[in-house]
Structure 1
């Protein structure tokens, strides 16, 4: 019989909600989020992240709350709050520390609960920062009153194939008993099984390098695209040929944002710098990817002969077919175009207009019926991929330019008067 009677998941965003819903199929689970509006929406059966369907929310036994009082005396606490970077690209652990302090007040030492962190951190944070903070804030002793575990999140927004109930969960704990507890809990909800990492630091490191590896590979593709643009060759044509080799890695160029790939390498580089190591490779990739929006804007402006005009950017979310606006790098493209004098309008069929205005100060438009000197396909949403050819042509002025950053219209036969550009 399981010793896990009550689980609290702290943070109900893209990571926490799918995890809490999955766990609630097997255990008694409380989902805590400090955002009152978020809790109200979930209780009403609406998930604005589109990760959990309304019918699944209606069926779940998960209890939603914004009150820490409801979270006392649990057997397991799981922290899934955001870990962004600040304006200087330094790790921002504000939300993690706040969640940690809340848990410290909720712990019943008699239960000796396990506190598991899923939030992405740099190696050493769980044991070196979070554990001591629980001790301090709750007047508790690690090992005697609570124990620590780590299991890196692997949620990929919009990906229904690699969902929480199918992926392999990496787990780690401060002792073997904790590891087996995590194996029991996570093993109960995923067909992918669990992998027991050698240590908590090893599990933290695995998460950091997974995303840093993707970031570096995408940076290589972006640099290749920049090089090839100088000889008027599309990187998409080159990739089509290169992919015929059996061991070619099919990474693609583009704007790198989101909550992981555009952020996690900075956590790894922060640790490196703390240890006196200069992380040249990691930061070089970050510099290329962070500068991609401005480079695209400059390349397009040059292609237009330095003449500014009316521009439309299609897509603001960090990837296709999701409403997630976190760390959108399309806004870098918009900002640079405006610096160059272009009158820029933006559109996105999935992102929340209020969130766009709140986070980036932009007001999305419905582009139907308007024509533009420059139309940029920045995010390959299904609605844009499937846009009828005549509708696409109607967006572009007779002598205007169509820029296809994701290669989604590269096979379209368009009016030859339209000036076409692609990475």
Structure 2
């Protein structure tokens, strides 16, 4: 953090959960342009608003970051950092559409910049080979330049954890790789200027891509193990949370929790590695088995709740975002849970204090109940996402939502240690 600022002009492509915090952080030391194709997003950022809540309003207003939705503002930068999403399609195959589009945008910005030495860095999570085998040729075709002579490639995997105010981009270790040792060194200087977490120089771009994709695959597999034992212990009438609490007293026990696994990283990234393995003639058995278990948890929980209810019960689901205390609705497995409960004949209402109602309607066709205190008379309340508003909900407030003898389905065990009003039934994984 003591390295003097370097005179590089940087453009960050994509201003979502990853790109915006990175761009704001870089703008403390460099001239930075944040680019996004969403004009509405750029407009809100200019007003000092961030719907993702990753950057505080005062930090955004005080930042020297310039933002634009006009590709004409992109030429002339020394460093281009691509932070667009990398989702999967309906068949769980990698959807490289956003990253291909970003590569084309950068290529057009570089047209005519012969010998400029511009560096294009990808932070988007991909399988090994995408940066050099797919993105590099697209940039070369669009720009008319030669990769490795007129422009160079780099990779530095993002490690943003939505809602995490401790492991922020200016505090975490950054893995960096470049097409040449000189490019890698330059990127290490730039990222090293803005993070106190240190720099790890990977030997090549494919290694850095692989490191990122296994980080989330490893977590996915560990959670899948816990979800599988939760199914077993449920049949035995044992609380998984009690078992984990006891096992967690051993010094090297890995403390994962059961539940729904969604979001744009853990629920998606393993499919990228499995896809690449299949291309190589290999079967990623452990990776895909873990994905199958975790993707099946919404059905398992819906059936467990349904078995404890009348055939056509009224169910209130608390929480729709993929994770507690964030507004991010991407790849929410709660939506799958709701679909299964509805398919089993139940009438389902949904409440979430952080989710955007328009986005919930657009993405999942779900209408959010605006006020929790206006709801009552449910056969079951399903605590799907442990937002603070729900963690702080008093027992009487919870009881007011339910019919006498109603069921509290506490997926994450957030109320398991709290005395609850008499007459209510309680279930958890």
Pick the aligned partner of 1:311 from 312, 315, 329.
Answer: 315
Which sections of structure 2, spanning at least 5 residues, go unmatched? none
Alignment correspondent of 1:233: 238
Alignment correspondent of 1:92: 95
Q: Hey, what's the Cα distance between the residues in 2 that align with 1:143 and 1:240?
A: 53
Report the Cα offset of residue 110 of structure 1: 3.5
Alignment correspondent of 1:19: 22
Task: Confirm or deny that 1:176 pairs with 2:171.
Answer: no
Task: Confirm or deny that 1:104 pairs with 2:129.
Answer: no
Report the Cα offset of residue 368 of structure 1: 1.8
Alignment correspondent of 1:335: 339
Per-residue CA deviations over 1:39-86 (Å, capped at 9, x if unaligned) read 000000000000101111111111000011101011000000000000
Q: Hey, what's the Cα distance between the residues in 2 that align with 1:330 and 1:345?
A: 12
Alignment correspondent of 1:399: 405
Aligned length: 422
Report the Cα offset of residue 135 of structure 1: 1.1
Pick the aligned partner of 1:274 from 279, 303, 308.
Answer: 279
Q: Secondary structure at the match of 2:11?
A: strand
Report the Cα offset of residue 308 of structure 1: 2.2
Task: Confirm or deny that 1:161 pairs with 2:160.
Answer: no
Q: Secondary structure at the match of 1:324?
A: coil
Q: Secondary structure at the match of 1:313?
A: strand
Alignment correspondent of 1:48: 51
Per-residue CA deviations over 1:101-158 (Å, capped at 9, x if unaligned) read 0100111224220000000000000001001111112211111110000000000000
Task: Confirm or deny that 1:79 pairs with 2:82.
Answer: yes
Moved more, 147-156 or 370-379: 370-379
Alignment correspondent of 2:73: 70
Q: Hey, what's the Cα distance between the residues in 1 that align with 2:162 and 2:306?
A: 33
TM-score (normalised: structure 1): 0.98
Contact 1:4 / 1:75 at 8 angstroms: preserved in 2? Answer: no
Report the Cα offset of residue 269 of structure 1: 0.2
Contact 1:8 / 1:74 at 8 angstroms: preserved in 2? Answer: yes
Per-residue CA deviations over 1:178-233 (Å, capped at 9, x if unaligned) read 01110110000000110001110000000010000000000001001111110111
Q: How do residues 220-369 of structure 1 correspond to structure 2 at under 5 angstroms?
A: 220-304=225-309, 307-365=311-369, 366-369=371-374
Q: Hey, what's the Cα distance between the residues in 1 that align with 2:89 and 2:28?
A: 37
Alignment correspondent of 2:201: 196
Q: Secondary structure at the match of 1:303?
A: coil
Pick the aligned partner of 1:58 from 56, 61, 68.
Answer: 61
Contact 2:115 / 2:151 at 8 angstroms: preserved in 1? Answer: no
Q: Hey, what's the Cα distance between the residues in 2 that align with 1:315 and 1:218?
A: 20
Per-residue CA deviations over 1:349-395 (Å, capped at 9, x if unaligned) read 11111111111110010232322001000001001001011101111
Contact 1:4 / 1:76 at 8 angstroms: preserved in 2? Answer: no
Q: Secondary structure at the match of 1:268?
A: helix
Q: Which runs of 4+ in 1 moved over 6 A?
A: none
Alignment correspondent of 2:383: 377
Contact 2:115 / 2:149 at 8 angstroms: preserved in 1? Answer: no
Contact 1:80 / 1:117 at 8 angstroms: preserved in 2? Answer: yes
Kindly report the root-mean-square deviation, in angstroms, between the aligned alpha carbons of the 2 structures. Answer: 1.0
Contact 2:6 / 2:190 at 8 angstroms: preserved in 1? Answer: no
